[in-house]
Structure 1
Amino acid sequence: MPQRADSTAGLCLLFDPGARPDADAVARLMEASAASGLPASISHRPAPEAGWLELLASGLTFDLVGLDPGAPGRMIEAQQRFGFADDAVPSRGECIELVPSGHIISGAGLQPVLRTMMGLAANLVLDLPVRAVGWGPAQTWMEPRYFCRTVLNWLGGGAFPALGLTALLTAEDGSLVSRGLAHFTGQEMQLEGRPDETAADTGKLAVRVIDQLVRRGCIAEPMRIDAGGQALLVEPSQVGKLVLVWREDEG
């Protein structure tokens, strides 16, 4: 059994009971993907009953754990869901996990590792009967097509999928606080709310801010950013790993 990363560092792919793939199914998928240009392959394959494979992508290795006939992977606790119709959220199932391999666990939050893992997961999800995709750091579940669309768009140069790879919580003072952003930047974000602004508009602004923060990385000193044409001041908090975001016109 591989050294397993903390489950909050990986992705859960949820299947209907009894529908988890085995190593042979993943091997066939890898062979087909290689023919279509996906730079991924199986780098270690133990006996089938072990229920896991090591996958190599872009020079990095990841463990796919919970394959049939082994025990299912660990489920994450879902606090928010994205991309599902109200009646389409799976209520039960079994999962496999995609996590960084033991020797790169310490770099699980680095952009090259994260981007490679997300791209690998999206290609697996496209070709397997996955019912939902769970992401531990944000405690979120995503509808498979929603996950693939938003992740592949990001990897192609588009906006970061803030609603899924992070989540937003409303604080008592009306501000929005991120959950899971620290896995990408080392800091969570808190965006002040305004009484003359709808919750939906504040949320849209928060999504744009998160995209900016992921592009910039850790904020070490106050700076101004532009988020969709709105000037904002961002500064690291004196307490905890938190970035405070203020409207510059009210600064």
Structure 2
Amino acid sequence: MLKGSVEANDRPAPVDALFLIFDRDRRPQRSDLIDAISTIQDTSISHDPFERDALHRQAREAGAVRRDGTWLELLKWGMTFDCLGLAPGPKLALPPVRHRLSISSDIDLASQDTIALTPGPHLADASNSIPVVRALLDTAMDLTKALEGVESLCWGPSGSAMSRSVFTSLASSWIEGGPFPALGLIGYYLDREGRLRSDGLQWFLGRELALSPDLSRDRNAATRIAIRLINELMPLGRLDQETRFICDEGEELFVAPAPEHLIEVRKM
């Protein structure tokens, strides 16, 4: 867990969100987001709470209220996403960051400012589906290019933070038909038993990978196996029975559901 103070007016954001991280006091305002959206071809604003509030509208016409608000609903590919945490409203508290890609451990991400993109209420039951996550990442990628000051991003379900360039590379590759970004949306760590474990796969498949200790001795090789296996499993949606998996080296692996919401991976 990262060190860093959380101000009294900070509020927690949904864990299933994708966070855009800015330097302190550099969060965009409502008007900044509206300007950014106007430059994105396939994204629009589907709901603006500020515009719908008659009292605010009357006050604005009288010149008594600034044109700002704390969130907007965006429409992308027929799906809606809420953009939360806009300035000057309360700041969002970034969830604990457990994994970093191309971000120095010296950077205190918890002290920086964030906005969050999260699936709209009508997508609540499908927020972990591939079409929704693809649309969410594509929206974030567009905003990263259109907004000034985006330094890094963090995927809530795995607590994985990554630099702007890493996110853009992974997301664009997937959107253009490449593999699922198993390196960016899923984290990896060694548990006390010496097994390489995934962190965040449960959000998609209901289980986490656990590679046997002998497969995990070489962490880089084990991570490659995990990434390759995740890309095989994602189209299935879940794993209910044992199966076999051939890794790049030609070795056959045993893959099966296990207690504690795990997927056991070991040599045959």
TM range, smaller chain: 0.7 to 0.9
Question: Structure 1, residues 154-196: CA drift from partner, whole Å, max 9, x if none?
Answer: 2222222222211112122321111100112222111113279
Equivalent positions of 1:29-68 (< 5 A) are: 29-34=36-41, 39-47=42-50, 48-68=67-87
Change (3 A) 1:196 1:216: closer
1:114 aligns with 2:133: yes
1:50: how far off? 3.1
Deviation at 1:91, TM superposition (A): 6.4
Cα distance change, pair 74–212 in 1 and its aligned pair in 2 (3 A): same
Q: 1:136 to 1:86 in 2, by over 3 A?
A: closer
Distance 1:230 1:41, change over 3 A: farther
Match of 1:78 among 97, 100, 115: 97
How many residues in Structure 1 have an aligned counterpart in Structure 2? Answer: 240
**Is residue 97–residue 161 contact of structure 2 (8 Å, CA) maintained in 1?**
yes
Mapping of residues 181-196 of structure 1, within 5 Å: 181-194=201-214
Q: Determine the C-alpha separation between the residues in 1 that align with 2:49 and 2:210.
A: 45
Which SS does the other structure have where 1:131 is aligned? Answer: strand
C-alpha distance in structure 1 between counterparts of 2:79 and 2:161, whole Å? 25
1:103-160 deviations in Å (ceiling 9; x for gaps): 2122211111111111111111122221121111101211111011111112222222
> Bigger CA drift: 168-177 or 227-236?
227-236
CA spacing shift, 1:56–1:194, aligned 2, 3 Å: same
Tell me if the contact between 2:74 and 2:80 (Cα under 8 Å) persists in the aligned partners.
Answer: yes
Counterpart of 1:147 in structure 2 is 167
- Residue number among 143, 152, 158 corresponding to 1:138 in the alignment: 158
Q: Which amino acid aligns with 1:53?
A: L
User: Would the alpha carbon gap of residues 67 and 195 (structure 1) be closer, same or farther in structure 2, given more than 3 Å must change?
Assistant: closer
Residue 223 of structure 1 pairs with residue 243 of structure 2: yes
For the 8 Å contact 1:193–1:202, the answer to whether it is kept is no
Instruction: Report the Cα distance in structure 1 between the residues aligned to 2:35 and 2:154, rounded to whole angstroms.
Output: 24
* C-alpha contact 1:74 1:97 (8 A) present in aligned 2: no
Equivalent position to 1:123, from 129, 139, 142: 142
Amino acid at match of 1:114: V
Q: TM-score, normalised by structure 1?
A: 0.87
For the Cα contact (< 8 Å) 1:5–1:101, is it kept in 2?
A: no
Alignment match, 1:19 = 26
Structure-2 separation of matches of 1:196 and 1:137: 23
Of 54-63 and 153-162, deviating more is 153-162
SS at match of 1:205: helix
**Could you say which residue in structure 2 is the equivalent of 1:205?**
225
1:240 match: 260
For residues 107 and 165 of structure 1, do their structure 2 counterparts lie closer, same or farther at Cα, with a shift above 3 Å needed? Answer: same
What SS does the aligned partner of 2:165 have? helix
**Where does structure 2 lack aligned partners over 5 or more consecutive residues?**
1-10, 51-66
User: What secondary structure does 1:173 align onto?
Assistant: coil
Structure 2: distance between partners of 1:230 and 1:105:
40
| Secondary structure, aligned partner of 1:148 | helix
* Aligned sequence identity (%): 30
RMSD: 2.3
Report the CA distance shift for 1:89/1:5 in structure 2 as closer, same or farther (over 3 A): closer
Aligned counterparts of 2:95 and 2:238: Cα–Cα separation in 1: 26
TM-score norm. by structure 2 comes to: 0.82
Once the 2 structures are TM-superposed, how far is the Cα of residue 211 of structure 1 from its aligned partner?
2.1
Q: How big is the shift at 1:78?
A: 0.6
Counterpart code for 1:223: T
Q: Following superposition, which runs of at least 4 residues in structure 1 exceed 3 angstroms of deviation? A: 85-91
Match of 2:14 among 1, 7, 11: 7
The reply on whether 1:95 has 2:114 as its aligned counterpart is yes
Tell me how far apart the structure 1 counterparts of residues 218 and 176 of structure 2 sit (CA, whole Å). 31
